[in-house]
Amino acid sequence: HLPIGITLDLHANVTDAMAQRASVIVSYRTYPHVDQYDTGKRCADLIARTLDGEIRPACTVARGPMIDALDHGRTTAPGPMLETLAHADSLRARTPGVLDIGINAGFPWADIDAAGPSVVIVYDRKAGLRDTAPIAATLLERIWRDRRRTTVQPLPLQAGMAAIADALALPGDGMVLVADGADNPGGGGLEDSVALLGALIDAGIDRVAFGMICDPATLQACIAAGPGATLGVQLGGHSGGAFLGPLALRVQVVSVQPGQFTFTGPMSRGITLDIGPTAVVRVGGIDIVVAGTRHQVLDPGFFTHAGLDPAHYDLVVVKSSQHFRAAFGPMARTILVIDSGDGLTSFDLAAFGHTRVRRPVHPLDELPD
């Protein structure tokens, strides 16, 4: 028998087949995911113990009638995810034979039967433990009870714009930091929704850095025109993943540059990324990074490679849902998450028309407590 160990993002939808075929499944415990190394080490340690003959691990997975819970797995503030992890740690410590308990928030946008939160238990068959169901049931009870608790309340576009205006009006050090959560390429968004950008332009807000819009055609036009040029573009909204279509704008090309940088934030620190050429275009008081490839904006390098220092702006907008907090959070005096509804990672799950997920299921159906 060849032992198989896998590490998972805590947003994984863990299937029965995965649990049956893997010897060890170990999940991240942080969101933003700043524990990749620790997770890999936990998995490697268990596989090493398996190869040494010390343990004979196996996995079980259990789910409840929900595709959304655990506050999407957020761990930057006290809440359901951290509390459930602590409960799982307590159960593991006092149950002989339990090697690891993974708490997965799951990925509710995926239209598959196994979508949603899960409890994965890695146990030692040598220790005589045969039934992990009571442990999983205890944790799933807790997850179900807390399913509506959140540490972040995404704001619809109109309310979000009002909150931005209020935040900018208050004195304080640091930027106002806004996440365009409905169009997060880290979760499948296509990074070309311009709903929030259009609202900022209409509001006439100045000293704004916006990162990024993925629009290869606009990027090529900017490269051809060169820095200093002014041109008309149809920005964003071409992919079909953003429903409002492009913005017709006159933009000034501020710069064109290679998109190479090294991560400096807690996620992926030291790794060098090449996102291809980028351009910075200016509309009024808004500097927009335009790219030809999609990347979640979770590190200052997405701005600094283009000569933009986020700390020098009053308002910084990032295409992200949560990962941005690790690197940008310490710079901000206020953080807002806006759900414009225009994108493939909107938090309004009812809008996605799931057909394959098991039913009834929270929050798509009304279920008794």
pLDDT tens by residue, 213-226? 999 999 999 999 99
> How would residue 196 be classed by pLDDT, with cut points 50, 70 and 90?
very high
Average pLDDT, the chain: 97
What digits encode the pLDDT tens for the residues 246-255?
Answer: 999 999 999 9
Residue in the block written with tokens 């006092």: 94
> How would residue 366 be classed by pLDDT, with cut points 50, 70 and 90?
very high
What digits encode the pLDDT tens for the residues 234-248?
Answer: 999 998 766 789 999
Instruction: Give the pLDDT mean for 265-282.
Output: 97
> How would residue 1 be classed by pLDDT, with cut points 50, 70 and 90?
confident
Domain ranges of the chain: 5-145, 155-346
What pLDDT sits at residue 239? 86
Q: How many CB atoms lie within 10 A of CB 96?
A: 9
The amino acid sitting at 63 is R
Instruction: Give the pLDDT mean for 164-168.
Output: 98
User: Quick one: how far is CA 181 from the chain centroid?
Assistant: 9
The pLDDT of residue 369 is above 90: no
Q: Is 198 helix (H, G, I), strand (E, B) or coil?
A: helix
User: Could you give the percent of the chain with pLDDT greater than 70?
Assistant: 99
What pLDDT sits at residue 351? 93
Instruction: Give the pLDDT mean for 179-199.
Output: 97
The pLDDT of residue 331 is above 90: yes
The amino acid sitting at 167 is A
Which stretch of DSSP H or E encloses residue 289?
A: strand 286-291
β-strands 98-104, 118-124: how paired?
A: antiparallel
The pLDDT of residue 199 is above 90: yes
Helices 133-145, 80-93: inter-axial angle, 10-degree rounding: 160
Contacts of 182 (CB under 8 A, 6+ apart): 189, 193, 195, 338, 339, 340, 341, 342, 343, 344, 345, 346, 347
What pLDDT sits at residue 242? 61
The dihedrals phi and psi of 111, each to the nearest 5 degrees, come to -95, 70
Length of the chain: 369
What digits encode the pLDDT tens for the residues 116-154?
Answer: 999 999 999 999 888 999 999 999 999 999 999 999 999
What pLDDT sits at residue 241? 65
Structure tokens belonging to residue 189: 């968004």
What pLDDT sits at residue 244? 83
Contacts of 180 (CB under 8 A, 6+ apart): 193, 196, 317, 318, 319, 320, 338, 340, 343
> How would residue 262 be classed by pLDDT, with cut points 50, 70 and 90?
very high
d(CA 224, CA 217): 11
> How would residue 278 be classed by pLDDT, with cut points 50, 70 and 90?
very high
The DSSP secondary-structure symbol of 66 reads B
CB distance 113 to 23 below 8 Å: no
What digits encode the pLDDT tens for the residues 6-25?
Answer: 999 999 999 999 999 999 99
pTM summary value: 0.94
CB distance 274 to 292 below 8 Å: no
Q: Is 206 helix (H, G, I), strand (E, B) or coil?
A: coil
d(CA 33, CA 72): 13
HEC profile of 251-275: EEEEEEECCEEECCCCCCCCCEEEC
Q: Is 170 exposed, middle or buried (0-12, 13-18, 19+ CB in 10 A)?
A: exposed
Longest Cα separation, the chain: 72
Which stretch of DSSP H or E encloses residue 303?
A: helix 301-304
d(CA 350, CA 346): 10
d(CA 174, CA 315): 9
Q: How far is CA 48 from CA 37, 40, 45, in A?
A: 16, 12, 5
Q: How far is CA 220 from CA 3, 100, 120, 273, 328, in A?
A: 49, 50, 47, 20, 29
Report the first-to-last Cα separation within the chain, whole angstroms: 43
d(CA 137, CA 221): 57
Task: Give ∠ CA 68-5-270 in degrees, rounded to 5.
Answer: 80
d(CA 15, CA 133): 16
The pLDDT of residue 101 is above 80: yes
